[in-house]
Amino acid sequence: GAVVSQHPSWVICKSGTSVKIECRSLDFQATTMFWYRQFPKQSLMLMATSNEGSKATYEQGVEKDKFLINHASLTLSTLTVTSAHPEDSSFYICSAPIGGTGGTEAFFGQGTRLTVV
Amino acid sequence: GNSVTQMEGPVTLSEEAFLTINCTYTATGYPSLFWYVQYPGEGLQLLLKATKADDKGSNKGFEATYRKETTSFHLEKGSVQVSDSAVYFCALSDPHAGNQFYFGTGTSLTVIP
């Protein structure tokens, strides 16, 4: 079945540095990738939608200059948290929707636990 | 607009008990409905889905029926196991919104021996 691989699974960085999270579709082409953020004991909050070859669409309240999204190929989307601060510590998850005979569903990456110290 | 309302947790059950997690939705079109499960420290995994009214999704003893008349997609399992302990998310995808997903807040389930 379709697999989305997200890397790294966890990262600790110093305040003020940048962190890049990669999300790859392994056996299908992902023209769209969703990026979510999940706070402890809460649901997923959609941050942005990236589309291959075009600019990402950000949800209201998400700083596009802080969360840089690049979707340069059909199998890779990246999220870069720039100048990270402790409040950016969270669980970030990507997902790619894929259509099929049973309708569209989403395949999720394993998630990245970001801790900013 | 689209939204998903999910039963709040946490839920604690004894092994072999019956499980119900309620989920209702609002949608502008004809969404597909999903249940995802998240084990500690992991990403979300699809548990089951239903793409049209009256469809029943089932997997690993879990099942849910797409009820258009009550806009519901309640998750049920007749006999839970300790290994079912996880967080369960109800979700819908809207083909009229670029297949964007909308999630409920999640329900934490703990099954004790």
Tell me the C-alpha distance between B10 and B108, whole Å: 5
Q: Which residue of A has its CA nearest to B9?
A: A41
Q: Are B15 and B112 in contact (CB under 8 A)?
A: yes
Q: For testing the chain A interface, which of B90, B100, B105 should be mutated: the one with the most A CBs within 10 Å?
A: B100
Q: Under DSSP, is residue B41 helix (H, G, I), strand (E, B) or coil?
A: coil
Q: For testing the chain A interface, which of B21, B44, B59, B87 should be mutated: the one with the most A CBs within 10 Å?
A: B44
Q: Do A104 and B32 touch (CB under 8 A)?
A: yes
User: In chain B, which residues have their Cβ closer than 8 Å to the Cβ of A112?
Assistant: none
Q: What percent of chain A has pLDDT over 70?
A: 93
Q: What percent of chain B has pLDDT over 70?
A: 97
- CB neighbours (10 Å) of residue A27? 9
pLDDT given for residue A51 in this prediction:
87
Q: What percent of chain A has pLDDT over 90?
A: 60
List the structure tokens of A105.
Answer: 């569903």
Largest CA distance in chain B: 44
- C-alpha distances (whole Å) from A93 to each of A3, A37, B3, B43, B92 are 14, 6, 20, 7, 17
Q: Under DSSP, is residue B48 helix (H, G, I), strand (E, B) or coil?
A: strand
Q: Using one digit for the tens of pLDDT, what is the confidence trace for B57-92?
A: 999 999 999 999 999 999 999 999 999 999 999 999
pLDDT given for residue A102 in this prediction:
46
Q: Using one digit for the tens of pLDDT, what is the confidence trace for A61-93?
A: 999 999 999 998 889 999 999 999 999 999 999
- C-alpha distances (whole Å) from A108 to each of A6, A80, A116, B22, B105 are 8, 18, 23, 23, 17
Average pLDDT, chain A: 89
Per the model's pLDDT, the better-predicted residue between B2 and A14 turns out to be A14
pLDDT given for residue A1 in this prediction:
59
Q: Is B69 on the interface with A (CB under 8 A)?
A: no
pLDDT given for residue A94 in this prediction:
93
pLDDT given for residue B26 in this prediction:
94
- C-alpha distances (whole Å) from B41 to each of A52, A74, A91, B9, B106 are 29, 27, 9, 19, 15
Q: Using one digit for the tens of pLDDT, what is the confidence trace for B11-51?
A: 999 999 999 999 999 998 889 999 999 888 777 889 999 99
Q: Is the pLDDT of residue B98 over 70?
A: no
Q: Nearest C-alpha of chain A: how many angstroms from B66?
A: 14
Look up tokens 């720039």; give the residue.
Answer: A82
Expressed in percent and rounded to 5, the helix, strand and coil fractions of chain A are: 5, 55, 45
Q: Under DSSP, is residue A87 helix (H, G, I), strand (E, B) or coil?
A: helix
Q: Nearest C-alpha of chain B: how many angstroms from A24?
A: 14
pLDDT given for residue B44 in this prediction:
85
Tell me the C-alpha distance between B25 and B21, whole Å: 13
Residues near B51 by Cβ (< 8 Å), separated by ≥ 6? A102, A103, B32, B33, B66
Look up tokens 């039963």; give the residue.
Answer: B7
